[in-house]
Amino acid sequence: MAFSISTPTAYFSCFNSSNQSSLPSLPFKPLKFPPFWPWQKVKMGPLTVSPMGFGTWAWGNQLLWGYQESMDTDLQQTFNLAVENGINLFDTADSYGTGRLNGKSEKLLGKFIQEFPGKQMRNDIVIATKFAAYPWRLTPGQFVKACRASLERLQVEQIGIGQLHWSTANYAPPQELALWDGLVAMYEQGLVRAVGVSNYGPKQLIKIHDYLKARGVPLCSAQVQFSLLSMGEDQMEIKKVCDSLGIRLIAYSPLGLGMLTGKYTSSRLPLGPRAFLFRQILPGLEPLLNSLGEIAQRRGKTLPQVAINWCICKGTIPIPGIKTVKQAEENLGALGWRLSSDELLQLEYAASESPQKMIQNIFQTR
């Protein structure tokens, strides 16, 4: 475990008596480093990544997240802050960006990486991008071509994790095998260091794992919606499969698109399409939001920090989305401490008592 010499003093506030130990040879009681620090890394296949990454779905998305090109300076400052504080995993996709801005997320991420001033930190960044299973991508070669286009937008020679964005097993089974072969091809050609999948249910996850293993390609990661709002039987079964097969689970939407931030109420809804979803779900989240609030107050944390920390304690790598420096700073506060077993049980009981749950991604397979 390597620790940075320049320790951000703000993170020392996360210590408590349960985190301390003493060394007999010293006249004072030193601080014991908690299990997760922003500059501590965890293994994900052949890669070494931060225990939390950041998602870039909002970068270029005007419809859902209200992106405007005038935001680019703030986005770059947000990215720089994250990297400076030890975050090296960034998730994106070739489909992120609406209309004429399709691919904008990858372009911005590539630009920010190239312009980041620290060479060592820049070299340590791991890009996880997803390739859409568009209906016109019918051959392995077309999938490899999509990967090469992402490499160009990202301005890199090799992608950290190349991920299949969703499975076509539910509606176009013949296309699925071609996409799997596309992952194999981009791995064998050295275009990606590792491969992963997104929105795969437990049964299909086992199938692709076995198929790739037979081809000599390890499955590094599985990305699914996973949070206190998305902890149903399927999601927990996916986690069990990942644990048994040595696959890292990447948790997207760990804050339920913002519903677990405490920022919104039935009378104070977000702009855009999210408002419809929030109107349906928020009224039934009172037990969960109350428990998050109680623990946050007791811990001196915020609701988002508690919700993200729950994901980390469940053994996943959460990737909350970021658009502002304030969001990045708050999300970083989810690191450096851990919920107790009693707190985990309290949150999970409150989640089970909340009558509303997050709608699962329609592309997730069984």
Q: Identify the three-state secondary structure at position 347.
A: helix
Q: Which of 50, 163, 51 is nearest to 106 (CA)?
A: 163
Question: Which uninterrupted H or E stretch holds 53?
Answer: none
Q: Which of 249, 255, 279 is nearest to 267 (CA)?
A: 279
What integer is the mean pLDDT of 32-37? 50
What confidence tier does 11 reach under pLDDT thresholds 50, 70, 90? very low
Q: Are the C-beta atoms of residues 197 and 219 closer than 8 Å to each other? A: yes
Question: Is 171 one of the catalytic residues?
Answer: no
What integer is the mean pLDDT of 145-166? 97
Question: How many Å apart are CA 265 and CA 262, to the nearest integer?
Answer: 8
Provide φ and ψ at 268, rounded to 5°: -130, 90
Domains, in order of start, for the chain: 39-264+303-338 (3.20.20.100)
11, 96, 187, 264: the catalytic one is: 96
What integer is the mean pLDDT of 19-43? 52
Q: Is the pLDDT of residue 130 over 80?
A: yes
Segment 282-304, tens digit of pLDDT = 888 999 999 999 999 999 999 99
Question: How many Å apart are CA 79 and CA 324, to the nearest integer?
Answer: 9
Question: How many Å apart are CA 237 and CA 241, to the nearest integer?
Answer: 6
Q: In the chain, how many H helices and how many E strands?
A: 13, 10
Provide φ and ψ at 315, rounded to 5°: 85, 20
- Rg over alpha carbons for the chain, rounded to the nearest Å, is 20
What confidence tier does 36 reach under pLDDT thresholds 50, 70, 90? low
Segment 249-258, tens digit of pLDDT = 999 999 999 9
Question: How many Å apart are CA 113 and CA 271, to the nearest integer?
Answer: 30
Distances 133 to 97, 103, 210, 227 between C-alpha atoms, Å = 16, 15, 20, 25
Tokens describing residue 332: 């970083």
Tokens describing residue 111: 């630009």
